[in-house]
Amino acid sequence: MKILVALMVAVLVEVVASQCSCNNMKWAKCDGDPCKCSLQFSGVSQTLDCSKLIPKCYLMKAEMYRAKNNLSTRSIGGKPVETAFVDNDGIYDPECESNGKFKAVQCNGTDVCWCVNSAGVRRSDKGDKNIKCEPVETYWVRLELKHKDMPASEDAAKWKTGIENVLLERYKLDKKFVDNVQYDKSGRLIVVDVKKDKGLSEPDLSLMTYYMEKDVKVLPLFVSPQPFEVSVEGNKVSMENILVYYVDEKAPTFTMQRLTGGIIAVIVVVSLIVIGGLLVIFFIARRQKAQYSKAQPREMETMS
C-alpha cells in the first residue's frame, strides 16, 4: 500500500515537472510552481534564469560534468530503444548457411561460442559449444553518421532525401525502409533509422551496414573508387565516422543488460540488509561469547 502511494506520488511529481521546462537549456532540470530550473555540475546545481541565454561558463561546467558522468551531450542519437546494442567484438571467422546467412551459433573456430542475429552481431553471452541459439532477425538499424567539417544544410527533411538517394543508389535499399532521419548541426550528426516490418527476412539490413561501414571507415568495397557522399542541397557531404545500433525482433540475452538501474538498486538494498543482518548476528554472538568466557573460570574451578 505504502509503495503504491509512493509510486503514485512519483508519477504525479513527474507529470507536474514535465509542464515546466527551460527553453534555453535542454539539460536543465525544472520543477515547481512557479517553475524553477537548475543545471547540475559536480556536486552542486546552479539555478538558471531561463528567460535569457545561459552563461557560457555554466554551460561548459555542465558539459564537463556530463562528459565525466557519461551523460549524453547531444539532443539526438544514442540507443533507439533499451534493447538496442552495438558490435563490440569486431570481426570473427563466421559459419555461413548455404544461402549466405549467418548460422545462429558462432564459435570463431574455437570452443567458445555465442548467438548472433541475422547481421552476425553477438546477441548473447559467450558460452561453450553446446549453447542453444535460435535465428533472430535484425529488423531495425540505427546509423549514426558524423559528417566532415564542411558547409551543410540544417534541414532534416533535405538530409532525409539525400540519405534515401544514396542508400538506394549505392546499396539498392528501397526508400520506404528509411524510417526517420534526424540532424544535429552542432554535433555534425545525422541519425538514420532503417526499419522493416517484423517477420520479414528481406531486405537483409546487414548488407547495407557492412558496405557502409567500410565506405566510411576504411575504403569502398566497390571496384569504382567513387566515395560515399550525401548530396544535400547541391553540396556533396562526406562522412567522418559511423556507429551502428542493432535492434532485433527478440531482445538480446546479455546478462548485464538486464541489470538496469532499478534492479541494481534493489540488489544494493538487499545486500545492505543482508550485511546489516550478518553484523547484528556477529555482535550478538560476540556478546554471548563474552558472557560465556566470564562464566568459564568458575566452571574450571569447580572442575578442579
Ligand X SMILES: *[C@@H]1O[C@H](CO)[C@@H](O)[C@H](O)[C@H]1NC(C)=O
List of residues contacting ligand X (CB under 6 A): 89, 92, 108
Give strand pairing partners of 43. Answer: none
Q: How far is the CB of 156 from ligand X (least distance, A)?
A: 36
Q: Which is nearer to ligand X, 92 or 254 (CB)?
A: 92
Q: How far is the CB of 243 from ligand X (least distance, A)?
A: 18
Q: Which is nearer to ligand X, 106 or 138 (CB)?
A: 106
- CA–CA separation, 143 and 136 (whole Å): 20
Q: How far is the CB of 240 from ligand X (least distance, A)?
A: 26
- CA–CA separation, 246 and 115 (whole Å): 14
Contact 174, 259 (CB under 8 A): no
* Interacting residues of 190 by C-beta distance below 8 A, sequence separation 6+: 143, 144, 145, 146, 147, 159, 163, 181, 182, 183, 230
Q: Which is nearer to ligand X, 108 or 241 (CB)?
A: 108
Q: How far is the CB of 92 from ligand X (least distance, A)?
A: 4
Q: How far is CA 186 from the centre of its chain?
A: 21
Q: Which is nearer to ligand X, 90 or 225 (CB)?
A: 90
Q: Which is nearer to ligand X, 89 or 179 (CB)?
A: 89
Q: How far is the CB of 143 from ligand X (least distance, A)?
A: 22
User: What does the block give as the cell for 218?
Assistant: 576504411
Q: Which long-range contacts (CB under 8 A, 24 or more apart) does 272-276 make?
A: none
- CA–CA separation, 259 and 268 (whole Å): 12
Q: Which is nearer to ligand X, 38 or 108 (CB)?
A: 108
Q: How far is the CB of 8 from ligand X (least distance, A)?
A: 47
Q: Which is nearer to ligand X, 108 or 257 (CB)?
A: 108
> According to DSSP H, which parts of the chain are helical?
2-18, 56-68, 156-171, 205-217, 255-258, 261-303
Which backbone phi and psi does 290 adopt, to 5 degrees? -60, -45
Q: How far is the CB of 210 from ligand X (least distance, A)?
A: 15
* Interacting residues of 217 by C-beta distance below 8 A, sequence separation 6+: 241, 242
